[in-house]
Amino acid sequence: MKVALTGITGYAGLQLYYLLSQHPKVEAIQIYQHDLEKPEHVAKLNPRLSEVTALAKPYDSGAIMEENDVLFLATPAGVSSHWAQPYLAANFPVIDLSGDFRLKNPAQYEKWYQKDAASKDALAQAYYGLADLKENPGQHYVANPGCYPTATLLGLAPLVKQNLIEVDSILVDAKSGLTGAGKALKKANHFVQANENLQVYKPNQHQHIPEILQMLQSWNPDVKQLQFMTTLVPVDRGIMASIYVKVKAGITEEKLEQAFREQYANAPFVFIQEEGLPDLKSVVGTNNCRIGLAYNPETKYLLVVSVIDNMLKGASGQAVQNFNQLFDFSSTAGLHLQPLAF
């Protein structure tokens, strides 16, 4: 297949390029850049790709659809909402790594992202691609989930779907490496600010809150809200979501463990830890999610620890997983990755 990629200058776009370059079903990757007036060497757009001799082309939706079989958009929020219409009209396959098509309510998007939303009709044509939980329903525009929502939702799905917890008790303490803050320079990711430091950011204002809530409510309408907090930690990559929930009366620890094993019995990238709790190094460099449980019988609270690599499972790896689902390839094609050895 020939694939188009827009957004090669960012962390996720670069990681995606490397994954696609090793995918057994991808014969060519063509790079398109919105601010080019004429073709330019890819290495000039991203020096990390100095070994790539191919030319990036100016962005043109007609040329993309004529020359390729699918488009990956690794663009910032606020871009694809303006670019999507030609692809939706042509039913052309798109995997969008931005947040522009994740929320179904345009007003919610504008509230949390402070940007103009796509139309409600356009949003309805997109599919939320939480790849380990739901097969593609036949739509061709995939809204790739955010990194925090991926870790959080995989940690909550069995509990909420099977009604095992008090849904008003959900509290999430999520921590992310610096790549999760994006490539643009900000005060929080200066070395002297980030090194040997922990920084809580966007308290009660993180744009992934409505995305998580939307999915939880699709599983159980009784979910009205959740407490979600984010912390930036001085590591390059990785997300740890520590999820605290109160278990319903009569639900045993064995029942909780069984719910997770049943939910992910056929999910090749989700692993339920037998003993102890997972750490970041067990997943960094992979498309895996590792989940561990710790139940307190005195307080009836369950701690779920869900860890992922934010650049892979939380972005480009899941995008490739959605690509595989969209075209009926093996779910693990191009994703036989190993954690970094330490």
Domains of the chain by residue range? 2-144+313-326, 148-310
Given the residues 8, 42, 74, 147, select the one marked as catalytic. 147
Q: Which CATH architecture fits 148-310? A: 2-Layer Sandwich (3.30)
Query: Which residue shows structure tokens 């009604």?
Result: 163
pLDDT given for residue 231 in this prediction: 96
Can you name the residues that pair with 56 across neighbouring β-strands? Answer: 40
Tokens of 239: 């997300």
Look at 86 and 134; give whichever has higher pLDDT: 86
With a cut of 70, say whether residue 182 has pLDDT above it. Answer: no
157-179 average pLDDT score: 96
Class level of CATH domain 2-144+313-326: alpha beta
With a cut of 90, say whether residue 342 has pLDDT above it. Answer: no
With a cut of 90, say whether residue 184 has pLDDT above it. Answer: no
- Digit-coded pLDDT (tens) for 225-247: 999 999 999 999 999 999 999 99
Q: Are 3 and 68 in contact (CB under 8 A)?
A: yes
Q: How far, in Å, CA of 172 to CA of 161, rounded?
A: 17
Q: Are 304 and 173 in contact (CB under 8 A)?
A: no
Establish whether 147 is a catalytic residue: yes
Directed axis angle between helix 209-219 and helix 106-113, to 10°? Answer: 150
